Structure 1
């Protein structure tokens, strides 16, 4: 093997190592940026639990199941968020989070709708008003966290699809990160290259 060939192979190996390290760094930043979003989702779970508990004295008998279902949905969403973070968002972890958050959002909206029909100057109403304020504030924080996550995910995904870095991604099993787009509830769609609806 002549010197020219050795030089070419050395350059190629050096480039592949650099590409691998860059992809690894971008993927780590994407995973790290999910942390604040997960934190805000957990705060929303806590608010949903507190809201369901505070609303129970105001609800009639046929409205009580909504509060119980909301408590279950908040707990399931919390478990899904913890699992997604623990697994580094591998596999269908974010899809599970999306389904859980969609269910939670639907039930939360249902409970708020029920409460809008009730008026009382006594009991837990001031607490409910404060919890609803917290929910609205969290919605804005979730929106900002989602934008930060999307920015990092897009940088990582772009690097995955730039040739010849694509070859390194295929060789070491790097996979695209899902993008999240804003809607009334957190849902996740199928194609990583397209935004997945999020809060």
Structure 2
């Protein structure tokens, strides 16, 4: 009788300690993914800092390429703000990835046009600065992707899957 209760208490203690350890691992992996995004977000923000304020042109409106770039930037900035507040929300990251694609296409259109938003020649420093930001972003994205894959892998492994379900850990999406 006594040995049965000792075994039962021992198993309960083992289950408790395993649960605490597994939960701490999930929290640590989630934190790593959040920190990886926190490293990436300021680099993405630099796109905004690079866009010049467009003075009114003689015709009253900037070119369609620049209008498209400023529209794409507004979408990107809004998506980035949401992703910053919810870096592991798959929908928020998917929206940010789509907005990034649109922003890059709009920038390519502006760079191909070769004119600034005021109709003058595009500043020579702008394309290299944009390319430098892209290099930094592309260098940092894999760190976020790796952290997200580690987190996603952990929440799908049995028996940690049960804790993930119980505490509401949701799969994230890489950028």
> Partner of 1:41 in structure 2?
44
The structure whose residues are more often strand, as a share, is 1
Aligned-residue offset at 1:112: 1.0
Contact 1:45 1:77 in 2 (8 A): no
- Post-superposition CA distance 1:128-160 (Å, at most 9, x none): 211111111111100111011112112212222
Higher mean alpha-carbon deviation, 32-41 vs 168-177, is at 168-177
Aligned positions, number: 169
Which is bigger in relative contact order (C-alpha 8 A, separation at least 6)?
2
Aligned-residue offset at 1:62: 9.6
> Following superposition of structure 1 onto structure 2, how do residues 3-152 of structure 1 map, counting pairs within 5 Å?
3-47=6-50, 49-50=51-52, 53=54, 64-90=63-89, 92-115=91-114, 125=121, 128-152=123-147
Structure 1 outlier segments of 4+, above 4 Å: 60-63
Aligned-residue offset at 1:82: 1.3
> Which TM-score applies when normalising by structure 1?
0.74
CA distance in 2, matches of 1:135, 1:22: 38
CA distance in 2, matches of 1:144, 1:170: 33
> Which TM-score applies when normalising by structure 2?
0.84
Unaligned runs of at least 5 residues, structure 1: 181-199
Unaligned runs of at least 5 residues, structure 2: none
| Secondary structure of 1:179 counterpart | coil
Which one has the largest radius of gyration? Answer: 2
